[in-house]
């Protein structure tokens, strides 16, 4: 008499049902995911920094528009000054070259202040408190000045440091870029040249 013996399932090999129900190991644990996310963030930051390094200040073409609120409470946009020559100077109270330029800028402003077609605008870079006011009082600055809150204006112009000066023509285009070394004579030469090109007397 023959008897059939069914092979018992091996305890070393799970059955197909057990294989299906067994938890599958995660491909990436939480630690790996966090590490990967950190690497991605660092890569993005470096890519943005590199892209910004390759950018240059706007030396021609349309001047980046921006809203500003002056230290005495006036709110406007650069584009509100269209039709005028606008001298935009980025400065800071702790900047040595800015101190050298301050009397030159004020003197040039006094040359134009009675005309209606030239505007001077100072932008205080990362220096928005009492020191800015003290700086302006020290040098008798009378033209418009505004703090650069969050350095958003400086970023729009991709400044590399202070002082930097942009002269914007009546059509809203950058006509001249000056990296430090502003003098009364240079400003008057550039501005008068722009006015002459516009047919101003």
C-alpha 31/C-alpha 70 separation (Å) is 49
13-50 confidence digits (pLDDT tens): 455 555 556 555 556 677 776 676 667 554 443 443 43
Cα of first residue to Cα of last residue in the chain, in angstroms, is: 128
Q: Which helix (H) or strand (E) holds 105?
A: helix 96-112
Alpha-carbon separation of residue 5 from 10, 146, 168 (angstroms): 14, 95, 98
Write the DSSP symbol of residue 176.
E
| pLDDT confidence bin for 153, thresholds 50/70/90 | very high
Average model confidence (pLDDT) across the chain: 83
Alpha-carbon separation of residue 139 from 47, 102, 106, 144 (angstroms): 41, 7, 8, 14
Reduce the DSSP state of residue 88 to 3 states and report it.
strand
C-alpha 153/C-alpha 169 separation (Å) is 18
| pLDDT confidence bin for 59, thresholds 50/70/90 | confident
E-only strand ranges, 21-109: 67-69, 75-77, 85-91
Reduce the DSSP state of residue 27 to 3 states and report it.
coil
| pLDDT confidence bin for 199, thresholds 50/70/90 | low
C-alpha 52/C-alpha 142 separation (Å) is 34
């Amino acid at each position: 008499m023959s008897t059939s013996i069914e092979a018992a399932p091996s305890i070393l090999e799970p059955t197909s049902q057990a294989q299906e129900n067994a938890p599958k190991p995660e491909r990436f644990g939480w630690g790996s995911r966090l590490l990967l996310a950190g690497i991605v963030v660092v890569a993005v930051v470096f890519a943005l920094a590199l892209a910004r390094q390759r950018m240059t200040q706007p030396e021609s073409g349309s001047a980046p528009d921006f809203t500003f609120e002056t230290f005495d409470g006036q709110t406007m946009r650069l584009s509100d000054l269209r039709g005028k020559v606008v001298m935009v100077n980025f400065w800071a109270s702790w900047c040595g070259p800015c101190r050298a330029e301050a009397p030159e800028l004020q003197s040039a402003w006094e040359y134009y202040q009675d005309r209606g077609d030239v505007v001077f605008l100072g932008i205080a870079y990362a220096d928005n408190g009492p020191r800015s006011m003290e700086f302006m009082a020290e040098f008798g600055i009378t033209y418009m000045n505004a703090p650069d809150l969050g350095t958003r204006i400086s970023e729009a112009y991709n400044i590399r440091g202070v002082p930097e000066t942009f002269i914007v023509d009546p059509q809203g285009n950058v006509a001249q870029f000056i990296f430090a070394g502003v003098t009364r004579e240079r400003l008057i030469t550039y501005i008068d040249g722009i006015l002459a090109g516009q047919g101003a007397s």
